[in-house]
Amino acid sequence: MTVIPLVTSMLVAGVASVGATGALRRAAARAAVIALALITVAAVASAVIAQPILARVAIDRTAAEALRPQTTAALSGRVIPAAEVRPVPSPVAQWLIDLVPPNIIKAVADDAMLPVIVFALLFGLALARVGDERRAAVLRVVEGIAETMQRLVGAILALAPIGVFALAVPLASRLGYAIGGAVAAYLILVVVLTVAAVALMLYPLGIIGGGMRPRAFMAFCAPAQAVAFSARSSLAALPAMVESAERAGFPPIVSSFIGVRTTSLSGV
């Protein structure tokens, strides 16, 4: 309900504003490279460390099967004539083809985030080439949507603990103690890896590369990290991240555009 409207509106507003001013291209490129590098290192390290640890965790097969979604799909058994068989493109070619949505409404309905992000970027670049008066009118609407969605996300997060508790109670009553050990091991592993990634990568990079004092950098990161750590969602932390960036003195264009770009990369 909130992901696509929030990401799309903030991307369009950020790209159109950046394109209109001709600024921040270097900063945006650096932000994308740094975000991709951090995500890659964190993903590789997590896979290397987590795989042998999780392999030793005993999981009750019955409890695991209870979590598996039920499906009613069945094979038709029809023999497909050779004339109807289409050549299958390579994975890279298919990935590039899927980046451009034939129908943006269908992509939104299917929750296909990457094609929606590509459309938002292209729309923002095109909007930057529109006349100042009409571009400003569209930007006012888009920025209003973005701010409204941030308020909505904040309201949802305020109720999130109650919702999580309500979902966890029936699941725990159905599974009992059978899967408790596996869940505890997973939670401990996630907490340890998250703290290690923040301490070994994020803080040194921000303090040294940003030229900030450790205490100041930690104060700016704390709100977004608290939301992300509890919600396990980079998107949920986006409003807090944008607010901290603006509190640090960054222009609104910088905080919204780079913040959404980084969130989109981590989410994708």
**pLDDT confidence band for 251 (50 / 70 / 90):** low
Measured at the CA of 14, the angle between CA 156 and CA 100, to 5 degrees, comes to: 90
**Considering the entire predicted model, what is its pTM?**
0.59
Which residue has better confidence, 218 or 236?
218
89-100 pLDDT, tens per residue?
677 777 778 778
> What are the contacts of 7-10 at 24+ separation with CB within 8 A?
7/113, 7/116, 7/117, 7/120, 7/235, 7/260, 7/263, 7/264, 7/267, 8/116, 8/117, 8/119, 8/120, 9/142, 9/143, 9/145, 9/146, 9/149, 10/146, 10/238, 10/256, 10/257, 10/259, 10/260
What is the structure's pLDDT at 11? Answer: 81
What is the structure's pLDDT at 207? Answer: 86
Domain annotation for the chain: domains and CATH numbers: 3-65+89-267 (1.10.3860.10)
Average pLDDT over residues 229-239: 72
Q: Is the dihedral angle over the CA atoms 87, 90, 93, 95 positive or is it negative?
A: positive
What is the structure's pLDDT at 219? Answer: 85
Strands, E, within the chain: which ranges?
Answer: none
Let me know: does 161 contact 46? Beta carbons within 8 Å: no
What is the structure's pLDDT at 75? Answer: 42
What is the structure's pLDDT at 34? Answer: 83
Helix, strand, coil share (%) of the chain residues, nearest 5: 80, 0, 20
118-158 pLDDT, tens per residue?
888 889 888 988 888 898 999 999 989 988 988 888 788 77
Burial code (b: 16+ CB inside 10 Å, e: under 16) for 106-144 equals ebbeeebbebbbbbbbebbeebbeeeeeebeeebeebbe
